[in-house]
């Protein structure tokens, strides 16, 4: 079987995005726009992959070593972009799949069908098209009276009659390598944009009597490209719908998929319910039988099984099984919650570990703390972790109970089984099984360890 190489054209300036960020790096459902083209190429198991980039916008370090970056220093059109790749394919004898980096809805199914038809017909060039009912600025497929492809006309060069044609060129092609080496150097920039159009090779081929094959794709939405923020939002809506449908097929309940936002990088366990307004981002992993939402944002976090989260924000947080969070909790990066931990309303936690069975029910700030098992944190408790120079740690040992409105001035430790009185300011360590109260707090008495039958 012939080898296939892939070329992703991604050097366009993306001026309609009106952004300092290159178009192909704009986020789409948790991943850069161009990553969808790369994912499709990986799914097709193509090993030789080239990306044509503008070196002024995209640093070479962006994509790692699995792809070969080719620079297009002057943006002179798609044909010129592919010409920059040809020197890297001098000895290549297989087929060359060419894609655009701003077409995230193209599927491996469509592109695999394109390659198969190209080989079945022993074609020099096969074009992927789509028939759509909406207006678009994509080039039009022009066929002759017998239905064969005659040429592709770009929008700026098209006549009013040609613009009425609904079959579009999607910028995805399969070329026989030798054909490309022969015809690509022959294209000119004699057009409305003074650019070297890759599509001109089609007209050159048909003039020489070489048949060019066309394969219409199955889903018209595959033709949705991204040239503006409005188009990015439209594509995001389509992709989110696909993501939601995928998870519902996998046993996840989405109460309202239209108001549920799940990144392509998120994983969710079966029998979990996602309520309206949930936003699941990044590398988030959610276990089984959880209830997420309503109106919760979870980013780059691990959520165990049987967890309930409502009206809360979790960033880079690790949550153990059977924990309960919210409403209106804010868990910042570095938070680790053990099993059956309860975090209630208006609680903020940052860079802290709270072990199994402990509770922070409401109105507290816990920062840079280590809290043991079965600890109860009273309402209004604050770990005063910043001394004006550095962040300091608070440690609260197992079975301790912190009274309401306690201020723990770090670095400080509250011992095992100890208690603090309401409104206390803890400036010094509290020994195990002690009661500390007052401003500043003093040890009032020793407590007897509780015995468990």
Q: DSSP letter string over 116-170?
A: HHHHHTT-SEEEEEEE-SS---SPEEEE-TTS-EEEEE-GGG--HHHHT--EEEE
For 386, phi and psi rounded to 5 degrees?
Answer: -110, 125
CATH class of 229-446: mainly beta
Q: Identify the pLDDT of residue 59.
A: 67
Q: Identify the pLDDT of residue 58.
A: 75
User: Residue 388: CB partners within 8 Å, gap ≥ 6?
Assistant: none
Q: Identify the pLDDT of residue 408.
A: 98
Residues of the chain with pLDDT under 50: none
Give the residue extent of every domain in the chain: 4-223, 229-446
- Rounded Cα distance, 419 and 437, in Å: 8
- Rounded Cα distance, 128 and 78, in Å: 16
Cα 76 to Cα 13, 299, 377, distances in angstroms: 11, 40, 65
- Let me know if 362 is a catalytic residue: yes
- Is 229-446 in the same CATH topology as 4-223? no
CB 118 within 8 A of CB 27: no
- 315-321: Cβ within 8 A, 24+ apart: 320/356, 321/287
3-class state of residue 41 by DSSP: helix
Q: Is the pTM of this model over 0.85?
A: yes
Task: Find out if CATH 3.90.550.10 is the number for domain 4-223.
Answer: yes
3-class state of residue 304 by DSSP: coil
CA angle 385, 330, 338 (to 5 degrees): 80
Which of 26, 88, 246, 362 is flagged as catalytic? 362
Pairing of strands 4-10, 27-28: unpaired
DSSP code at position 386? B
């Amino acid at each position: 079987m012939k080898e296939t190489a892939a070329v992703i054209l991604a050097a366009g300036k993306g001026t309609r995005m009106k952004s300092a960020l290159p178009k192909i790096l704009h986020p789409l459902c948790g991943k850069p726009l161009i990553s969808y083209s790369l994912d499709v190429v990986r799914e097709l198991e193509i090993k030789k992959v080239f990306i044509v980039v503008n070196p002024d916008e995209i640093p070479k370090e962006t994509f790692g070593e699995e792809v070969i970056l080719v620079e297009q220093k002057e943006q002179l059109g798609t044909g010129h972009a592919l010409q920059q790749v040809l020197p890297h394919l001098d000895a290549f004898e297989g087929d060359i799949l060419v894609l655009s980096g701003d077409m995230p809805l193209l599927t491996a199914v469509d592109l695999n069908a394109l390659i198969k038809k190209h080989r079945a017909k022993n074609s020099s060039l096969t074009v992927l098209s789509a028939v759509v009912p909406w207006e678009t600025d994509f080039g039009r497929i022009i066929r002759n009276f017998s239905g064969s492809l005659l040429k592709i006309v770009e929008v700026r060069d098209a006549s009013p009659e040609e613009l009425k044609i609904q079959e579009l060129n999607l910028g995805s092609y399969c070329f026989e390598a030798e054909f490309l080496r022969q015809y690509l150097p022959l294209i000119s920039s004699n057009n409305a944009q003074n650019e070297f159009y890759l599509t001109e090779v089609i007209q050159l081929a048909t003039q020489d009597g070489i048949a060019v094959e066309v394969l219409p794709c199955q889903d018209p939405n595959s033709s949705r490209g991204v040239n503006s923020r409005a188009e990015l939002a439209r594509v995001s809506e389509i992709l989110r719908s696909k993501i939601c449908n995928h998870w519902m097929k996998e046993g996840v309940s989405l109460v309202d998929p239209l108001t549920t936002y799940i990144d392509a990088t998120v994983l969710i366990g079966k029998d979990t319910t996602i309520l309206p307004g949930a936003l699941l981002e990044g590398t988030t992993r959610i276990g089984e039988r959880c209830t997420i939402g309503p109106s919760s944002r979870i980013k780059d976090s691990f959520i165990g099984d049987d967890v309930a989260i409502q009206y809360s924000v979790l960033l880079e947080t690790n949550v153990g099984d059977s924990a309960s969070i919210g409403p209106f909790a804010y868990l910042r990066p570095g938070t680790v919650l053990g099993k059956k931990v309860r975090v209630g309303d208006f609680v903020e936690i940052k860079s802290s570990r709270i072990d199994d069975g402990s509770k922070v029910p409401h109105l507290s700030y816990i920062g840079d703390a280590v809290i043991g098992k079965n600890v109860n944190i009273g309402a209004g408790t604050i770990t005063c972790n910043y001394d004006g120079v550095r962040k300091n740690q608070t440690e609260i040992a197992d079975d301790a109970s912190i009274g309401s409105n306690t201020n723990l001035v770090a670095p400080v430790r509250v011992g095992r089984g100890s208690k603090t009185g309401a409104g206390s300011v803890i400036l010094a360590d509290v020994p195990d099984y002690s009661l500390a109260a007052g401003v500043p707090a003093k040890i009032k008495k020793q407590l007897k360890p509780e015995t468990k039958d």
